Each structure stands twice: as structure tokens, then as C-alpha cells.
Amino acid sequence: MKIIKTQVGIIGAGPAGLTLAHWLKQKGISSVILENRSQEYVQARVRAGLLEQNTVDILDNLGLADRLKKEGQEHHGVYLNFDGQRIRVPFGELTGGRNITIYGQQEVVKDLTEAWQEAGETLLFETPAIELEGIETGSPKIHFEQEGGRGMVECDFIAACDGFHGLGRKSMPKDSYKEYEVTYPFSWLGILANVAPSSEELIYAYHENGFALHSLRSETISRLYIQVDNEDSVENWPDEKIWEELSIRLGTKGWKLNSGPIFEKSITPMRSYFIDNMQFGNLFLAGDAAHIVPPTGGKGLNLAIADVKHLVDGFEDFYQNNSRKELDNYSKIALKRIWRAQDFSNFMTTLFHKQDEHGSFQYQLQKAKFDYISISDSYKTTIAENYVGLPFDTFMV
């Protein structure tokens, strides 16, 4: 049996696991990463694109942002549409110069994976963690499978960065946390298309046909989403129908949507989920393993990286000062930001999605909010500072 010894055993090579590994290395703490899927699969998985200022700064400080700085696009504002009326929320002047950057999650994953491999560090693909042992002790173990054989990681701590369906959360005793979950009655149909973006900045739109979002990946690739029913399937959405619907929902006077060949189409359900305790003994959860937010606020990946920041603080305190104080506070501090992000994501989701008939009480509340945002700098500031992400020193325990 293959036995690997390290200080922190990391499950999952998504944004959380990879960032944690690099950051620990910078602090002189060793780790290995186990990943269920193949390298090709992980690097091709299309997901997020919006990086908060904190996330960009962290990757930059780790020396992992060279390509991001070159190819990513910094945005200084966002457009909000309601019934064809468009307003802009500028970031710079409302947030003291903080911005967002558009750069695909799979590009982040690719950059971090390659840098880890180039440094000669261990990342085992197609190697699922199958069982955790001794998480309540100082020497936990991760049992894994590889090419039909078995192996084990012997470590001081386990970091479960293994996403929503991972093993980490399932390995916590059921009575060690409470679960909170909201399933929204709609989903997103997301596309990637070979066409120049029709807007330099993102557009979130409420329309009586439903929500739409215009995002982008590069000067030649657009990323767009529309609200669909939970029971809907991509077969019901030929390319022409998608472009027609996007054009209606995002439309405003004097603006035209560019259309082009669609090369990726998928449907994502909208869900808010989290647990109120992200650690047990020497097992710590980070990222989607512990929480899911609906993508309307662009917060999922950014929350995962924020968890990692607090986890690194904890491990550094442990290895440098022989203290568990920061580690013991991990859930408490991480959850402050998670609650904030749950609220903001829920706010953006309920503001822009069609939930009830056009003209209903719910609709009037949404419209009243939008009308107020359009005249109030305070409301715009609230949106801007949440959207670009609050600085780390905002949250204390």
C-alpha cells in the first residue's frame, strides 16, 4: 500500500484546494492534494468567471497571477437592467478603488495546477479519497483509491476542499453541525459563445420573461445566462431561441446583442446551502464543501478563497506558535463572510429573477428596489462594496 506523509492532506484540486496548497507552501507547511477527476476534466469544467479584489490580490501575492493580469479584464462598474431601463453602478468611487476581474475559473485552476506541478509538488489525479480515519486525533488519515489499488495519506490535518458532493462534510458527525438550505424555483441556462461581448461590463437584467446575465471571458468569447424552469433541459433551447430570448431580456434602447456560435450549454440549479460549523477535530472544510450560494452575486469561488485565507492563518498559528487559537476560531470567522455572501446572493437573486406575475406585489417590491437603487448613492454603495467583496479586516471575532 502506498503511504504518503505530509502536514496537511488536501482533498480536491478545485480553487480552494489548490490555493490552500500554494499558500501553505509559501508558509513552509507541506501538503499533498488528492483529486477524484482527471486533469483534463478539471481544467475543462466551465464555471465561475468573476474574481473579487481579495481573490486577485491573494493570487498575486502568491505569484500566481501572471496570466490573470495579462488576460483577465478588470471591470470598474456593472450594469443593472429592469424592464428595459439600464443603470450603472460604478465601483471605484464607491469602494475606494476596489474592482472585480473577469477570468475563467478553469483558467485559475489551470494556472495553479501547472505551477504546483512545475514546483515538483504532489497532486494525484484520478485518486478519490474514500474514507477518513481518526479525524478527532492529532494524526488523521485519508484512505484513497488509485488505479484499482489503495493508499493512505498520514497527516496532522485534513482540509476537505472537495466541493458540495465531497467526502469531507459527510465525514463530520451528523450532530456537529446544523444545515440550512433554500432551493430556488428556477435554474440558469448558461452558454459560452464565439462572439465579441456586446457590453464591456456585465449586465444583470430583470425582464417579465425572466432573468438574464451578460458576462464575458475575452474579447472574442461571451458568457451569458438566462433563467429557466427547474424541469427545463438544454434540448428545449436551440441556439436561435437562446439568442432571441437574451436579446429580449437584456434589451434596452439603442443597444444591440451580438450573436454567434454557441460551444457550451448547461443548466445549473439555484441553491443556497450552508452548515454552521465547518470543522471537527483536525478536519476542516473549505469552499463548496461547506456552502453553496446561487451564482447571481458571483460569490462561490471568492468565498472558497476567503475560507482558505482563514485556514492558512490557523495552520500558520499552529505551526509557528504551537497554538490552536486561530484554528479553533476558523468556522466562526469564515461564517461571518459566508452569511454576508448568502444575504447578498439572495438579494441579487430575488431582485433580478422573475418570481411572480408581472405587476404582482412581489414584482412591485422588486421594481421599487430597482427604482431606489437608481436614485440613491447609498444603495449603490451597498451593492458595489458587496459585489467587489468586503476587505478581510471587516470581519472580526
Q: Which residues of this protein are in contact with ligand RFL, per CB under 6 A?
A: 11-17, 34-37, 42, 47-50, 105, 128-129, 161-163, 166-167, 188, 190, 268, 287-288, 295, 298-302, 304
User: Which grid coordinates are listed for 313?
Assistant: 492563518
Would you say 284 or 387 has its CB closer to ligand PHB? 387
- Return the one option of ligand PHB, ligand RFL, none that residue 35 interacts with (CB less than 5 to 8 A, by type): ligand RFL
> Mask 202-221, x = binds ligand PHB (CB under 6 A)?
x------------x------
Beta carbon of residue 120, minimum distance to ligand PHB (angstroms, whole number) = 33
Q: Which of residues 295, 302, 310, 311 is near ligand PHB by CB under 6 A?
A: 295
* Min dist. Cβ of residue 379 to ligand RFL (A): 22
The only residue of 19, 99, 101, 296 in contact with ligand PHB, by rule CB under 6 A: 296
Query: Which residues in 350-369 contact ligand PHB (CB under 6 A)?
Result: none
Binds 14: which of ligand PHB, ligand RFL, none (CB < 5-8 Å by kind): ligand RFL
259-264 CB contacts, 8 Å cutoff, 24+ apart: 259/193, 259/195, 260/193, 260/194, 260/195, 260/196, 260/222, 261/193, 261/194, 261/195, 262/191, 262/192, 262/193, 263/192, 263/193, 263/194, 264/46, 264/190, 264/191, 264/192
| 325: number of Cβ within 10 Å | 10
Residue closer to ligand PHB by CB (options 68, 202) is: 202
Residues numbered 16 to 75 that lie near ligand PHB (CB under 6 A) are 48-50
Residues carrying an active site annotation: 75, 204, 295, 299, 387
Tell me the closest approach of the beta carbon of residue 294 to ligand RFL, in angstroms. 9
Closer CB to ligand RFL, residue 250 or residue 293? 293
Distances (CA, A) of 383 to 113, 194, 352, 374, 386: 33, 31, 13, 12, 5
By CB under 6 A, tell whether 223 contacts ligand PHB.
Answer: yes
From the list ligand RFL, ligand PHB, none, pick the one residue 296 interacts with, judged by a Cβ distance below 5 to 8 Å according to partner type: ligand PHB
Residue 251 to residue 84: CA distance in whole angstroms: 6
Single out the residue of 376, 375, 378, 382 nearest to residue 348, CA to CA: 382
**Cα torsion 334, 337, 340, 343: sign:** negative
Integer-rounded Cα radius of gyration of the chain: 21
**Residue 290: CA atoms inside 13 Å, Cβ hemisphere, count?**
33
Residue 147 region by backbone torsions, left for phi larger than 0, else alpha for psi between -120 and 50, else beta: left
Q: Rule CB under 6 A: which residues touch ligand PHB?
A: 48-50, 202, 215, 223, 295-298
